[in-house]
Amino acid sequence: MKAVLLIDFGSTMTKVTAVDVETEEILGTSQSYTTIETDIINGLNNAVALLKEKIGDVTFVEQYACSSAAGGLRMVAIGLVPELTAKAARQASLGAGAKVIKTYSYELTESDLAEIDEINPDICLLTGGTDGGNKENIVFNANMLARSTRNFPIIIAGNRNCADTCKEILKDKQTHVCENVMPRLDIPNVGPVQAKIREIFLEQIVKAKGLSNAEALVGDILMPTPSAMLTAMKLLAKGTKTEEGIGDLVGVDLGGATTDIYSMSFGLPTTGMCSLKGLREEYAKRTVEGDIGMRYSIHGIVDAAGIDRVSELSGLDEDRCRELVDYLSVHTDVVPGEDDELEKLDYALASLAIETAVTRHAGRLEQFYSPMGISYMQTGKDLTAVKVVIVTGGALIHTKRTGAIAAHAQFSPLDAMSLKPKEAEVLVDRKYILAAMGLLSTVYPDTALRIMKRELIKDGTRN
């Protein structure tokens, strides 16, 4: 046996997964409350103790960790045009596993600067202009950031012709110059920025969040948890040199505070007479809906979908729905259990959370008339041909209605211009292994891929 321990330091729970990399088997999983307020090691020790009660006193020869503890990796992104450089900056940040608190476009105002200082992000990404293009905007914003009262790291990833000027303006700050996030119009270049974000996360953020003590026990904390999830999804879709992946997919991670959506697809148009509009998106895309969650952001689901839809799907009257939603927003640790009303409400909320989040993530068509007749403009990714939707999160794992809930990630004729998947198979991560497999893949990619292909469950029944 060659046992490896994979650790996810979450904001609420610390989750551990034990894998025998020789037999390529999951030995067991467990979790315990994250003790970020005292010493994060306490929560880890509790989780490992629970794990060893299940699998015995196993010796782990290797240990790897990811983390979203203490709020995860919080970023602000600054660009020029909302649809181009600002979107590219946001895309790069989300793809690196960050939580983008705010995106700013054009010239920063005094109130913008005050807001950034109040946010006090872990990293600020400063972009603007293609190479050889607009210089004034990014230089102006560099001068504004130079007046910040905070000392967060700033990544300069805009027009290369004025990167040195921006660095000189920000010489009293922690600055890092990177390749332009959009060197040419409509062509994003997110890879170098994502690598720099990860580097800063490992060097500075882990220490700032009190996680460095954990490194003495577990070795390096390799990446933010969302980055581990993205890595796992990409591996599962594309495979390795020796092991075939399963093809394009959409992933849904439904949490208590946020809903993360992943898509592994180039999403090029499949509709005839259709052209792309705006920034081309990366093959591996992640979005975070910070207002959509099953408990902490429960009111966001109602605001987005409407109390009438909640009532319709749950079978409860609107007043009762409001009463229960208000209750769950305060009692965030409550699970349905045997309560029939809560079970019906959670079904409705989870369905609408997924419907809203995947609709926002997927692309859309706009119809217009041209000399050739009816034509279409596509914004974002066309995911209609994606054949697999993977779901994870407590509300999806601990229910018998996973398939019915996950169906809301798919295309509906009621929203005919949405480019969500049309005929996708649903796979369920019932053991919460995706983030762990993302970690494992950094050292044992073939093993991680084979475990995922075996362990993910088809709509409630094992493959």
Straight-line distance from the first to the last Cα atom of the chain, in angstroms, rounded to the nearest whole number? 25
- The mean per-residue pLDDT over the stretch 218-228 comes to 75
- Which homologous superfamily does the CATH classification assign to the domain defined by 3-70+209-219? 2-keto-3-deoxy-galactonokinase, substrate binding domain (3.30.420.300)
> What is the per-residue pLDDT for 435?
92
- The mean per-residue pLDDT over the stretch 118-141 comes to 93
Residue 364 has pLDDT above 70, yes or no: yes
**Measured distance CA(122)–CA(119) in Å, rounded:** 9
> What is the per-residue pLDDT for 98?
81
How many residues in the chain? Answer: 463
Q: What percent of the chain lies above the pLDDT cut of 70?
A: 93
Residue 207 has pLDDT above 60, yes or no: yes
- The mean per-residue pLDDT over the stretch 383-392 comes to 96
> What is the per-residue pLDDT for 463?
37
Q: Two tokens at 68?
A: 């979203």
Residue 213 has pLDDT above 80, yes or no: no
The half-sphere exposure of 452 on its side-chain side, counting CA atoms within 13 A, is 33
Long-range contacts of 375-378 (CB under 8 A, 24+ apart): 375/273, 375/274, 375/275, 376/269, 376/271, 376/273, 376/274, 376/275, 377/274, 377/275, 377/276, 377/277, 378/269, 378/271, 378/274, 378/275, 378/276, 378/277, 378/419
**Measured distance CA(282)–CA(264) in Å, rounded:** 9
- The mean per-residue pLDDT over the stretch 85-114 comes to 88
- The mean per-residue pLDDT over the stretch 107-123 comes to 95
Other Cβ atoms less than 10 A from the Cβ of 462: the count is 9
- Which homologous superfamily does the CATH classification assign to the domain defined by 73-204? Response regulator (3.40.50.2300)
- If you average pLDDT over every residue of the chain, what do you get? 88
What's at 149, amino acid-wise?
T
State the pTM of this model. Answer: 0.84
Radius of gyration of the CA atoms of the chain, in A: 22
What pairing do the DSSP bridges indicate for beta strands 25-33 and 249-254? unpaired
Q: Which segment, 45-49, 143-147, 334-338, is predicted with the most confidence on average? A: 143-147
On whether the CB atoms of residues 259 and 353 are closer than 8 A, the answer is yes
Side by side, the strands of the sheet bearing 154-156 are: 99-104, 74-78, 123-126, 154-156, 175-177
Residue 41 has pLDDT above 90, yes or no: no
> What is the per-residue pLDDT for 93?
85
Q: Name the maximum alpha-carbon separation found in the chain.
A: 73
Q: Which segment, 129-133, 204-208, 448-452, is predicted with the most confidence on average? A: 448-452
pLDDT band at 261 (very low <50, low <70, confident <90, very high): very high
Residue 255 has pLDDT above 90, yes or no: no
Q: pLDDT tens for residues 157-203?
A: 999 999 999 999 999 999 999 999 989 877 788 889 998 988 887 77
SS3 readout for 245-297: CCCCEEEEEECCCCEEEEEECCCCCCCCCEEEECCCCCCEEEEEECCCCCCCC
Domain boundaries, the chain: 3-70+209-219, 73-204, 238-462
Residue 88 has pLDDT above 90, yes or no: no
> What is the per-residue pLDDT for 461?
42
> What is the per-residue pLDDT for 221?
66
Residue 35 has pLDDT above 70, yes or no: no
> What is the per-residue pLDDT for 276?
84
Q: pLDDT tens for residues 306-318?
A: 999 999 999 999 9
Q: Which of 4-13, 22-31, 257-266, 350-359 has the lowest mean pLDDT?
A: 4-13
Q: Which segment, 186-195, 231-240, 387-396, is predicted with the most confidence on average? A: 231-240
- The mean per-residue pLDDT over the stretch 263-267 comes to 95
pLDDT band at 324 (very low <50, low <70, confident <90, very high): very high
